[in-house]
Amino acid sequence: MSDPGPGVSPTSPVVRVRDLEVHFSLRGGFLGQILGVQRVVRAVDGVTLDVARGETLGLVGESGSGKTTLGRAVLRLVEPTAGTVEFEGRDITRLPERDLRPLRRRMQPVFQDPHAALNPAMTIGEAVAHPLRIQGLCATAGEARTRAAGMLDRVGVTPAATYLDRFPEDLSGGQKQRVVIARALVTEPALVVADEPVAMLDMSVRALVLRLLADLKRDLGLTYVFITHDLATARLLCDRVAVMYLGKVVETGPAAEVLGRPRHPYTRALLEAVPRPDPAARDRPRQLPPGEVPDATDPPSGCRFHPRCPAAFAPCPSIEPPLVNGVACHLHNEVPAPSPPAAPSL
Amino acid sequence: MTGAVVTGIFAAVALLAPLLAPYDQAEVSGIPQLGRPSADHIFGTTNQHFDVFSRVIYGARLAFQVVLLSTTFALVVGVPLGLVSGYSGRRLDRILVLVMDALYAFPSLLLAIVAAFALRRSVGSGVPAAALSISVIYVPQYFRVVRNHTLAVREEPFVDAARAMGARPVTVMTRYIAANVVSSVPVIFTVNAADAVLTLAGLGFLGYGGTFEIAEWGHDISVAISDIGTGFWWTSLFPGLAILLLVTGLSLLGEGINDVVNPRLRRAGIGSVAPGVRGVPEDLETAALTASADEPDPAGAGDETAFERLPDLAAVALPAHLSPGHGRDGPPVLAVSDLAVTYHTPRGPVRAVDGVSLEVAAGHSLGLVGESGCGKSTLGRAVLGILPKGTEHAGRVVLDGDDLTADPARWRSARGDRLALVFQDPATRLDPLMRVEDHFVEAIRAHRPGIRRDGARRLAADTLAAVGVPPGRARQYPHEFSGGMRQRIMIALAVALEPRVLIADEPTTSLDVLVEAQVLRLIDGLRRRLGIAVVLVTHNLGIVAETCERVAVMYAGRIVEEGPVVEVFARPRHPYTQGLLRSVISLETTTLVSLPGVPPDLADPPPGCPFAPRCPLAMATCQEVAPVAAPVGADGHRAECHLYPGADPTHPGQAWTPGGRRTTLADPPLAGNLR
């Protein structure tokens, strides 16, 4: 279902991101506009990573880390400021929308809020069939509807026939998220970027949707970029993770390694903060960093985490640590060496 | 409804004018001058020998032609322009907004006159010219409403989804945006139509509309105006009445459509108020705090850096007024018994809380958990007495031995004083126009008018310092704070007056994990040190395990299990609790376990145990008899489940009682097949 396109080796990464920057300029107030003052949010500020075929890459971090923007840039839903994004071997960074359109069927999003991700004015059947029509994959509306019904059955919205003509408002949150997944998968994509797909769902429903995502990935040979702030879910579902802080990747590697033996103080803090459903673990020693993620228009100098870091030392406020061997921290690469940036294989 | 009838009658008259009118609109032959209303001329005749009745009827015809043409024209131009402008943004948007704002700011009648003049050359002065000149007024209205609506809808994820599937801008605008924006158009249409009737009459009155050949109400009134002084009232009265009726009809029609389009307005009217229902409580925002009368020490100056090293709460000295006073244990400070809440909905009564009894002692914390829709938030609100209007409640809420349910006035004064609350989203709970400090001053003085403003300010600074907000920031506005800081401010507001009970409804759900941990630690510290009884409403069992001493599991409006956290997490007795605990995804989770099914529809609850339809261990009894609380373990651990003796109310004997005795039980049966 997800055969690589022509000229793409099955071992080459599905997504290659190089030195990607996505900056948004905030139009200041009235006065700011007159004076020409422009504040720039550096949402993604120099990210390099690969997503291998068939893997699940987790982008984890707090809000403001840039993980959502990175995911949107990979799908070209936002325009990158600098750097490149390659999808299945093609540089899509500045591809005109006309040329991008045929590629879009192979890269699809799943959103956080299932209630807002479905057009309230479209029936379930129309919503899932529409991508097929837009991409010209089905010649007739009837054919698209049949395929949509098949996909709805596949994601567990069954019996699909009874749902096709219903509107999203009739469905529960979990059902809506299944419809969103069906809509994303109906064009047979290679890559799915799922942004907090279960964060809005009840705890009891989360497992069902996550298992559905895992089953679909296995059966359809999908590649996932899984964006989440929930480290427990990331650990369970992801092959590799990239921990982001203020627009940068601070630690990356196999999920079991990064989340099992974290090296960056930020990753460690995130892990320590996760509430554990075990009253006996309540009094474990925890070192919570003070404060909150600072303003991305004016990130701290040097290592961006240094003002909150319990382990900050001399070089941290002035020298930005490069990402070496999967971690960007002076504790782990004492010499801020002029070494090449992180190996793309990660 | 009335609006539709009136408008419909006028429309029919307009349509059938040539059949209904006894004379043509310009017919004068054989018609007397200024004849009184009579059998031949029921509305009388004019100075120009016109039959008033016929003129009014043809006037309706003209009004409808012009109004329909003008509003339709404005709609056809304004709606697409608004869509394109809002969707494309950038330069085009800015130019269009500028032009439309200029048009909008221009006095409308003047604008129509200018347009009428301009059009007189090219289009002439007939119906199309009048319609076009009026429509100029309404284009900006459609434009503005549609554009602003588009700006909002454009950001919705489903629009992103459409772009991600490769939809062209036209498709996105029509199928994804317009389809959701046009709901407001019929309302504007009718409002504009009503306005257009008046504008047309105004133009006619000023001489830019009808003529003697073409009947037009405004024109006819202007011609008849001199008749009024000489006693010929009928020539102006009937066209005037026609304007009044049609405008009223169209306005009512607009409101009717609005009710249909915006069902929320309609629903608000439904819901019969049953006897014994309380009135609406005062606005939540005014629910605030109380201070001890003695004035606190002045606050130390706080430094403000981008990275405040927030003090660890344990190391912070509590301000003098926040004394670790009440101690722990002792009799329950909050006792809820048989609390029931019924919402009246269009689908019938919904019993959201169905006979809940709870106790929390001073300095203790109770976690209230369950899936969404199980009534946990409603229970929190019911304890505070802040249920929406038209909600029925029964049972008792006793605070420190003081039955609040018996006296609404005491309940109101306790709220924000002895009974405090913290909500999920701090951003929406703080007034953006008020300095943080003023929130405190207003709240404190609402409950303790004896405290002067500067005293209240000092109290605010002290309390803010205790929750880790530098007192120097007290004079800033809410938007200058981060989400975590805002929640600290909310907590400070809640505890400044030393409440006995704090109800926190998902206080950290909108916060990131690191800030969540900070805020939970803060609440926990205040609870221990001030002896506040905390009820923490959350869907996150991890948070309960971290911070609560007891936990109550809610399902379908009932507490199906309650007990000490350690006991419930180690030996959950109710199959629902077992399922919930197993569905938690923690860092140690290796397999995904889900709890199949959804909570029951409380408008139509199942007979017997509400969990029976989802329960892997359900027996025959469960489908028929609703279980009551039975003792299932140490320290008052109770569960409403037929697996345990005492749960069947038809076989009384061991039913659970508050403060019930220690009972020994074998290990609980573990519900299988929950995968």
Q: Report the alpha-carbon angle A267-A21-A196, nearest 5.
A: 50
- Considering the domain architecture, whether residues A68 and A200 belong to the same structural domain is answered as yes
- Alpha carbon distance A111, A179 (integer Å): 11
- Considering the domain architecture, whether residues A5 and A137 belong to the same structural domain is answered as no
Bridge-based pairing of strands A38-51 and A191-195 is unpaired
In angstroms, the separation between the Cα of residue B366 and the nearest Cα of chain A is 13
CB A202 within 8 A of CB A148: no
Q: Determine which of B26-30, B242-246, B402-406, B448-452 has the lowest per-residue pLDDT on average.
A: B26-30
- Considering the domain architecture, whether residues A36 and A101 belong to the same structural domain is answered as yes
- Whether the pLDDT of residue B288 is over 50: the answer is no
- Alpha carbon distance A122, B159 (integer Å): 12
Eight-class DSSP state of B312: P
- Considering the domain architecture, whether residues A134 and A269 belong to the same structural domain is answered as no
Eight-class DSSP state of B568: H
For the record, the structure tokens of B98 come out as: 């500028």
- Whether the pLDDT of residue B295 is over 50: the answer is no
* Start-to-end Cα distance in chain B: 54
- Whether the pLDDT of residue B280 is over 60: the answer is no
B580 in contact with chain A, both atoms CB, cutoff 8 A: yes
CA distances from B75 to B184, B196, B253, B255, B531 (A): 12, 13, 18, 19, 63
Q: What is the distance of C-alpha A187 from the center of its chain?
A: 20
pLDDT band at B322 (very low <50, low <70, confident <90, very high): low
pLDDT band at B217 (very low <50, low <70, confident <90, very high): confident
- Considering the domain architecture, whether residues A267 and A202 belong to the same structural domain is answered as yes
User: Where in B377-519 does DSSP place strands (E)?
Assistant: 392-399, 402-403, 419-422, 501-505
- Alpha carbon distance B632, A56 (integer Å): 44
Q: What is the largest CA-CA distance in chain B?
A: 108
pLDDT of B42-79, one tens digit each? 888 887 888 888 888 888 888 888 888 888 888 899 99
pLDDT computed for residue B33 by the predictor? 81
- Considering the domain architecture, whether residues A202 and A137 belong to the same structural domain is answered as no
pLDDT band at B663 (very low <50, low <70, confident <90, very high): very low
Nearest to B55 by CA among B42, B65, B39: B42
More confident residue, A36 or B598: B598
pLDDT band at B267 (very low <50, low <70, confident <90, very high): very low
| Element of type H or E holding B564 | strand B558-564
- Alpha carbon distance B530, A102 (integer Å): 63
A71 in contact with chain B, both atoms CB, cutoff 8 A: no
For the record, the structure tokens of A153 come out as: 């059955």
- Considering the domain architecture, whether residues A232 and A262 belong to the same structural domain is answered as yes
Nearest to A325 by CA among A315, A339, A313: A339
B264 in contact with chain A, both atoms CB, cutoff 8 A: no
pLDDT band at B24 (very low <50, low <70, confident <90, very high): confident
A vs B: CB pairs below 8 A: 200
Determine the residue among A193, A203, A241, A258 to mutate to test chain B binding: the one whose Cβ has the most chain B Cβ atoms within 10 Å.
A203
- Alpha carbon distance B159, A120 (integer Å): 11
* Start-to-end Cα distance in chain A: 27
Tell me, yes or no, whether A284 lies in a domain.
Answer: no
> Which amino acid type is present at position A122?
M
A330 in contact with chain B, both atoms CB, cutoff 8 A: no
**Three-class SS of residue B134?**
helix
- Alpha carbon distance B354, B147 (integer Å): 46
More confident residue, A242 or B255: A242
- Considering the domain architecture, whether residues A62 and A11 belong to the same structural domain is answered as yes
Tell me, yes or no, whether A286 lies in a domain.
Answer: no
In angstroms, the separation between the Cα of residue A335 and the nearest Cα of chain B is 27
pLDDT computed for residue B45 by the predictor? 83
Q: Which residue range(s) make up the domain with A172? A: 113-187
CB B383 within 8 A of CB B334: yes
User: What length is written for chain A?
Assistant: 346
Q: For every one of its 346 residues, what pLDDT tens digit does chain A have, with 9 covering 90 and above?
A: 444 444 455 678 999 999 999 998 876 555 555 666 667 888 999 999 999 999 999 999 988 889 999 999 999 999 999 999 999 999 999 999 999 999 999 999 999 889 899 999 899 999 999 999 999 999 999 999 999 999 999 999 988 999 999 999 888 888 999 999 999 999 999 999 999 999 888 877 888 899 999 999 999 999 999 999 899 999 999 999 999 999 999 999 999 999 999 999 999 999 998 888 999 888 888 888 888 888 888 889 999 999 999 899 989 999 999 999 999 999 987 554 444 444 444 4
Tell me the chain A residues in contact with residue B372 when contact means C-beta distances shorter than 8 Å.
202
Tell me, yes or no, whether A138 lies in a domain.
Answer: yes
The complex's ipTM works out to 0.85
- Considering the domain architecture, whether residues A27 and A120 belong to the same structural domain is answered as no
Query: Per the CB < 8 Å rule, is B587 touching A108?
Result: no
For the record, the structure tokens of A305 come out as: 């985490």
pLDDT computed for residue B317 by the predictor? 47
Each domain of chain B, given as residue ranges in start order, spans 2-25+46-268, 284-548, 563-675
Query: Per the CB < 8 Å rule, is B310 touching A290?
Result: yes
Query: Per the CB < 8 Å rule, is B517 touching A275?
Result: yes
Tell me the chain B residues in contact with residue A286 when contact means C-beta distances shorter than 8 Å.
517
Residue in B closest to A201 by C-alpha: B372
Q: Which residues, in sequence order, are bridge partners of residue B342? A: B351, B392
User: In which residue are the tokens 């459409």 written?
Assistant: B162
Query: Per the CB < 8 Å rule, is A279 touching B590?
Result: no
- Ranges of H-type helices in B21-89: 52-88
Query: Residue A246 region, left (φ>0) first, then alpha (ψ -120 to 50), else beta?
Result: left
Q: What is the CATH number of the domain that holds A46?
A: 3.40.50.300
For the record, the structure tokens of B74 come out as: 């404005």
Query: Residue A218 region, left (φ>0) first, then alpha (ψ -120 to 50), else beta?
Result: alpha
Q: Which residues, in sequence order, are bridge partners of residue A242? A: A59, A252
> Which amino acid type is present at position A286?
R
Nearest to B495 by CA among B470, B463, B524, B447: B463
More confident residue, B233 or A270: A270
Cα-atom radius of gyration of chain A, to the nearest Å?
21
In angstroms, the separation between the Cα of residue A116 and the nearest Cα of chain B is 6
pLDDT band at B339 (very low <50, low <70, confident <90, very high): very high
pLDDT of A84-128, one tens digit each? 999 999 999 999 999 999 999 999 999 988 989 999 989 999 999
pLDDT computed for residue B269 by the predictor? 32
Cα-atom radius of gyration of chain B, to the nearest Å?
34
A205 in contact with chain B, both atoms CB, cutoff 8 A: yes
Please state which of the four CATH numbers 3.40.50.970, 2.60.40.420, 3.40.50.300, 3.40.640.10 is assigned to the domain occupying B284-548. 3.40.50.300
> Which amino acid type is present at position B370?
G
Tell me, yes or no, whether A329 lies in a domain.
Answer: no
Q: Identify the domain boundary among A230, A255, A276.
A: A276
Tell me, yes or no, whether A294 lies in a domain.
Answer: no
**Beta-carbon contacts of residue B308 (< 8 Å; ≥ 6 apart):** A290, A291, B468, B470
CB atoms closer than 10 angstroms to residue B396 = 14
More confident residue, B123 or A110: A110
Query: Per the CB < 8 Å rule, is A277 touching B586?
Result: yes
CB atoms closer than 10 angstroms to residue A131 = 28
Q: Identify the domain boundary among A164, A187, A210.
A: A187
User: What length is written for chain B?
Assistant: 675
Tell me, yes or no, whether A260 lies in a domain.
Answer: yes
- Alpha carbon distance B572, B665 (integer Å): 12
Q: A-contacting residues of B 501-560, CB under 8 Å?
A: 512-518, 520-521, 539-547
Eight-class DSSP state of B304: -
Q: Determine which of B407-411, B522-526, B667-671 has the lowest per-residue pLDDT on average.
A: B667-671
- Considering the domain architecture, whether residues A195 and A77 belong to the same structural domain is answered as yes
Tell me, yes or no, whether A281 lies in a domain.
Answer: no
Q: Identify the domain boundary among A155, A187, A219.
A: A187
Tell me the chain A residues in contact with residue B547 when contact means C-beta distances shorter than 8 Å.
282
- Alpha carbon distance A165, A128 (integer Å): 11
- Considering the domain architecture, whether residues A52 and A157 belong to the same structural domain is answered as no
- Whether the pLDDT of residue B275 is over 70: the answer is no
CB B635 within 8 A of CB B660: no
Burial of A109 (0-12, 13-18, 19+ CB in 10 A): buried
Q: Determine which of A308-317, B94-103, B203-212, B236-245 has the lowest per-residue pLDDT on average.
A: B203-212
CB A182 within 8 A of CB A155: yes
**Beta-carbon contacts of residue B151 (< 8 Å; ≥ 6 apart):** B86
CA distances from B122 to A119, B73, B132, B293 (A): 44, 17, 12, 79
Which of A134, A269, A307 faces B165 most closely, judged by CB atoms? A134
CB A195 within 8 A of CB A68: yes
What total of structural domains would you count in chain A? 2
**Sheet arrangement for strand A82-87:** A38-51, A15-27, A82-87, A90-91
Q: CA torsion sign, B516 to B378 to B486 to B551? A: negative
More confident residue, B272 or B475: B475
pLDDT of B398-430, one tens digit each? 999 899 999 888 998 898 889 998 887 777 778
pLDDT computed for residue B298 by the predictor? 32
Q: Determine which of A72-86, B194-208, B209-223, B378-392 has the lowest per-residue pLDDT on average.
A: B209-223
Eight-class DSSP state of B413: H
Query: Per the CB < 8 Å rule, is B516 touching A77?
Result: no
CB atoms closer than 10 angstroms to residue B168 = 14
pTM: 0.80
- CATH code of domain B2-25+46-268: 1.10.3720.10
- Whether the pLDDT of residue B661 is over 70: the answer is no
User: In which residue are the tokens 């609380």 written?
Assistant: B629
- Considering the domain architecture, whether residues A211 and A99 belong to the same structural domain is answered as yes
Eight-class DSSP state of B671: P
